[in-house]
Structure 1
């Protein structure tokens, strides 16, 4: 493996080990390991020091709830419309793929916004609305997503706490053409099931309420409109996390792909060496952000998790010198294609950090902060 790359920003030195894209397979078949803190904390401090008005962008976005309610109503309307349509028909599949998967991807990401308390002022109201938003997914999901996603932000890259990271077993068995195709097709199952095998979280009354509400809704829906109508919901959820253009964001956000799988040079900003973010988080600024609450602004989101989706473009416009030099993803569809078919793109291509504390202690602290 290449010697670690050292970048210096003023009084801080970063060390990051990055094998070349054409390195031997024995070198590539391992995660990127770093001892440094994730890059977003430092960039947040730099931006706040230079642009104090950034704090004015933080806070909830009240109008989002109306969009979410419209999407939930749309999904329920299409499910009702398909109540007498055979599940194994082109009409059913096309509506589930075009409308259902696109809408449920927006539902997933609305729950993501709610996990940061960005729809209502009070956290409890966000939790309750997330349970309502969960309806078109078909299975209870929202209550579990929030604590796991908070861990992803607070301990990004931690081998135990960041369940967005693939496991070693996934890297071993799925880093080949068929394995990557299976992973890209069934991403939703990996993201749903992986956390339960890595890190346990406390089961709370919000989880119970989420389960009871969803099961009750599902039962009433099936009794009222039949199983064909109900299956539209979970099928839409599966397709939303499968080979769908909007699903490209799952891989695009944090996988080290293609030309980014190489060492990068530092940038000079205001006479000081500024290291571009280690190839760990990538932003996408294309048109699909219109359907996904600007989740493509992912560096911006990790830098300031409490800025709502409507204001992330304003953050980038306010501090362009911090974001324009960073690596970007041009196409989510292109990411899905290159991830599967380019030999250099593997499930190993993620940045990991050794967990230095007992992760149970970390989760206990997180639970305290959430209450």
Structure 2
């Protein structure tokens, strides 16, 4: 598969960046990996459909999702009630919040991710309401905002100013050290929560209001009925789910570039200089994370639900076998912190003016709300 890639070194102003595919230079460790090619997933999707048209039959809602969400929400409420009289800073409280709560809330983060693609029900409204329900043990309303930001991530992968999954330059500069990266991985849940609002803000809609009202009402009822410890359990579970938790490794594993870049040789092509920008993981933690590890597969076919991604991987194995993959999310966190060649700069970026990305949810059209 042919790819046209351009890498650029840090430029002091926009005019110094390459303006066409004829200019390719080595990218130093203190800048993004700039490319002027289209994101690879659309191209690979078209090639896979051409080679295996049957994969389109895998698309559509998965009924099992709503039952899984109900079970995990019930589990978290049960655990919160069991710990309502346990001191918050006791080993029992924190260990439970890490092992059970962190895993459960990471599962709910990814349930909301799955639901954002309308993969639980056929009707968009039913998916929005299920996402609000899945949000309850997280403690803070965010499901309504997550969806348009995440769909924009798919439509505008790596596009500066649109893809809020990309770190900002401020993050990359100030956290470009072992201690900085350790701080980022420990508190990355806050970066992912606050960064979108810094990059661009969404219009406030009825679903945002409903998300806030339902969450606040449930939080208040829980506190008045069972005490503050129940809410603290939810909040600690959410924090630990996005901190130094094995399942949290997927945040870094998905799109940070871990492959070493090499100086161009006379016989090399531009595509030889830029590794794949999305990585998959096929390990056991997929069992509790809606198979989010199959991330190349997910970006290639966002309309295929979590239960059928393995089937896609099996059908189109010749497309996925050659791609680099991670063996362990825990190792990903360790390598990200300690490897000087990997940092917040290790992301592929596209210029907004030359990309084909677009913002989803900006106008809340019927088309966007129904995706």
1:201–1:363 Cα contact (<8 Å) kept: no
Alignment match, 1:65: 66
- Separation (CA, whole Å) in 2 of partners of 1:341 and 1:205: 44
Displacement after TM superposition at 1:275 (Å): 8.4
The verdict on how the C-alpha distance between 1:118 and 1:263 changes in structure 2, with shifts beyond 3 A counting, is farther
- Separation (CA, whole Å) in 1 of partners of 2:49 and 2:357: 32
Alignment match, 1:261: 260
Structure 2 residue corresponding to 1:303, chosen from 296, 300, 305: 300
Displacement after TM superposition at 1:370 (Å): 1.9
- What are the residue-to-residue correspondences of 1:214-363 with 2, within 5 Å? 214-257=215-258, 260-262=259-261, 278-356=275-353, 362-363=359-360
Which TM-score applies when normalising by structure 1?
A: 0.89
- Separation (CA, whole Å) in 2 of partners of 1:359 and 1:50: 25
Where is the strand percentage greater, Structure 1 or Structure 2?
1
- Separation (CA, whole Å) in 2 of partners of 1:158 and 1:327: 22
Aligned length: 346
* 2:4 match: secondary structure: strand
Displacement after TM superposition at 1:313 (Å): 0.5
2:336–2:342 Cα contact (<8 Å) kept: yes
Alignment match, 1:188: 189
1:138–1:214 Cα contact (<8 Å) kept: yes
2:32–2:348 Cα contact (<8 Å) kept: yes
* 2:5 match: secondary structure: strand
Alignment match, 2:34: 33
1:18–1:261 Cα contact (<8 Å) kept: no
The verdict on how the C-alpha distance between 1:359 and 1:196 changes in structure 2, with shifts beyond 3 A counting, is farther
Displacement after TM superposition at 1:16 (Å): 3.5
1:285–1:296 Cα contact (<8 Å) kept: yes
- Separation (CA, whole Å) in 1 of partners of 2:220 and 2:320: 47
Alignment match, 1:4: none
* 2:342 match: secondary structure: coil
Q: Which runs of 5+ in 1 are unaligned?
A: 1-7, 20-24, 266-273
The verdict on how the C-alpha distance between 1:128 and 1:177 changes in structure 2, with shifts beyond 3 A counting, is same
Alignment match, 1:370: 368
The verdict on how the C-alpha distance between 1:202 and 1:278 changes in structure 2, with shifts beyond 3 A counting, is farther
- Separation (CA, whole Å) in 2 of partners of 1:17 and 1:58: 35
* 2:84 match: secondary structure: coil
- Separation (CA, whole Å) in 1 of partners of 2:120 and 2:263: 38
Give the superposed CA RMSD.
Answer: 2.3
- Separation (CA, whole Å) in 2 of partners of 1:147 and 1:195: 11
Displacement after TM superposition at 1:14 (Å): 1.0
1:127-173, Cα deviation, whole Å (9 max, x unpaired) = 01100110000000100000000000000001011000000001100
- What are the residue-to-residue correspondences of 1:100-111 with 2, within 5 Å? 100-111=101-112
The verdict on how the C-alpha distance between 1:276 and 1:59 changes in structure 2, with shifts beyond 3 A counting, is farther
2:34–2:350 Cα contact (<8 Å) kept: yes
Alignment match, 2:21: none
- What are the residue-to-residue correspondences of 1:1-40 with 2, within 5 Å? 9=2, 13-17=3-7, 27-40=28-41
1:276–1:325 Cα contact (<8 Å) kept: no
* 1:229 match: secondary structure: helix
2:139–2:235 Cα contact (<8 Å) kept: yes
* 2:202 match: secondary structure: coil
Displacement after TM superposition at 1:356 (Å): 1.5
- Separation (CA, whole Å) in 2 of partners of 1:14 and 1:276: 10
- Separation (CA, whole Å) in 2 of partners of 1:370 and 1:181: 37
Which TM-score applies when normalising by structure 2?
A: 0.89
Q: Which runs of 5+ in 2 are unaligned?
A: 10-25, 265-270
Displacement after TM superposition at 1:209 (Å): 0.2
* 1:112 match: secondary structure: helix
Alignment match, 2:15: none
Displacement after TM superposition at 1:17 (Å): 2.3
